[in-house]
């Protein structure tokens, strides 16, 4: 009879291997690709150890340490997934003073799919709330031909949003920068970042981190506004986001 651990680890190794190919084909990023290679190797290793009970040859102390580390990793992963999921349906509030769109990849033909989802959510919000000002934040990465802030503004203006309602931020390199520099622009625009209502627009898996970093930076009333994500790539984004949350814990409230 096949050991349940052997069966589960074999299935997970195969699924990770298949998903590695999917991520590679779509070009979702080197880091995403490496995560799934690591997952494939990890579950393949568990499969190897479980066959013929090879794990019993490992000294008991080391084996127990491995059990504890794996258990801790599983608990952390589940908690982080629940935190992300708790913001998947965020829709903000009406008539916010400002919304900040967190930048993402700008392709040569326009916003990437991830960025377009965020900009489309901003478009819907701005149409329904004509007095809200929008800041689109994001600099120019090494593979980009245009700043994300400028590119995002052009996209929204092309859809009919008044250019005067959109402020591009073109220096940010990560989520922390997106929010810090955007708050500076709000101050330069004549408003106190601690006394406004503010929406954070980003993809559903990213809202938790964006909102809680913003809460550490300002006393404004902050609301998440969740944009969609491509279902096929959501597993990769949610696994990668776990690492992002762990990295940014010191910057979150």
Going from N- to C-terminal start, the domains of the chain cover 4-85, 98-251
- Mean local confidence (pLDDT), 128-144: 90
Per mean pLDDT, which range of 13-22, 42-51, 136-145 is the poorest? 136-145
Q: Which burial class, exposed, middle or buried, applies to 169 when counting CB atoms under 10 A from its CB (0-12, 13-18, 19+)?
A: buried
Measured CA to CA, the distance from residue 43 to residue 139 in angstroms comes to: 38
pLDDT of residue 50: 85
Place 91 in a pLDDT band, splitting at 50, 70 and 90: very high
Partnered with residue 135 across adjacent β-strands are 100, 167
Share of the chain above pLDDT 70, in %: 96
pLDDT of residue 215: 96
- Mean local confidence (pLDDT), 117-143: 93
Measured CA to CA, the distance from residue 142 to residue 111 in angstroms comes to: 15
Which stretches of the chain are DSSP H helices? Answer: 4-26, 30-50, 60-85, 113-128, 148-158, 175-188, 207-217, 234-248
Smallest CA-to-CA distance from 212 within 77, 104, 84 is with 84
pTM value > 0.75: yes
- Mean local confidence (pLDDT), 118-126: 97
Query: Roughly how many angstroms between the first and final C-alpha of the chain, as a whole number?
Result: 49
∠ CA 196-198-199, rounded to 5°: 170
Q: Which class in CATH covers the domain with range 98-251?
A: alpha beta
- Mean local confidence (pLDDT), 182-210: 96
Measured CA to CA, the distance from residue 224 to residue 158 in angstroms comes to: 25
Smallest CA-to-CA distance from 225 within 113, 104, 134, 106 is with 134
What tokens does 102 get?
Answer: 């967190």
Residues whose CB falls within 8 Å of the CB of residue 45, separated by 6 or more in sequence, listed in order: none
Partnered with residue 106 across adjacent β-strands are 111
What Rg value do the Cα atoms of the chain yield, rounded?
21
Location of structure tokens 């944009």: 227
Per mean pLDDT, which range of 66-75, 135-144, 197-206, 217-226 is the poorest? 135-144
């Amino acid at each position: 009879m096949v050991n349940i651990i052997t069966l589960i680890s074999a299935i997970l190794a195969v699924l990770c291997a298949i998903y590695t190919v999917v991520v590679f084909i779509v070009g979702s990023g080197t880091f995403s690709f490496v995560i799934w290679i690591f997952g494939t190797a990890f579950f393949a290793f568990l499969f190897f150890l479980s066959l013929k009970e090879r794990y019993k040859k490992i000294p008991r102390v080391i084996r127990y340490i491995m059990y504890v580390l794996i258990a801790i990793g599983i608990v952390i992963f589940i908690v982080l997934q629940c935190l992300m999921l708790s913001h998947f349906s965020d829709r903000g509030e009406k008539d916010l003073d400002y919304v900040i769109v967190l930048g993402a990849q700008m392709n040569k033909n326009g916003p990437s799919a991830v960025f377009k989802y965020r900009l489309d959510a901003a478009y819907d919000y701005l149409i329904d709330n004509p007095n809200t000002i929008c800041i689109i934040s994001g600099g120019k990465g090494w593979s980009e031909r245009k700043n994300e802030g400028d590119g995002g503004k052009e996209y929204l203006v092309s859809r009919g949003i008044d250019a005067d309602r959109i402020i591009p931020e073109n220096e940010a390199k990560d989520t922390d920068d997106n929010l810090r520099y955007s708050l500076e622009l709000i101050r330069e625009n004549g408003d106190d970042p601690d006394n406004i209502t503010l929406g954070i627009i980003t993809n559903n898996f990213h809202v938790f981190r964006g909102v809680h970093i913003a809460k550490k930076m300002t006393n404004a009333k902050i609301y998440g506004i969740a944009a969609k994500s491509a279902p096929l790539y959501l597993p990769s984004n949610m696994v990668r986001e776990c690492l992002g949350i762990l990295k940014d814990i010191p910057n979150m409230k």
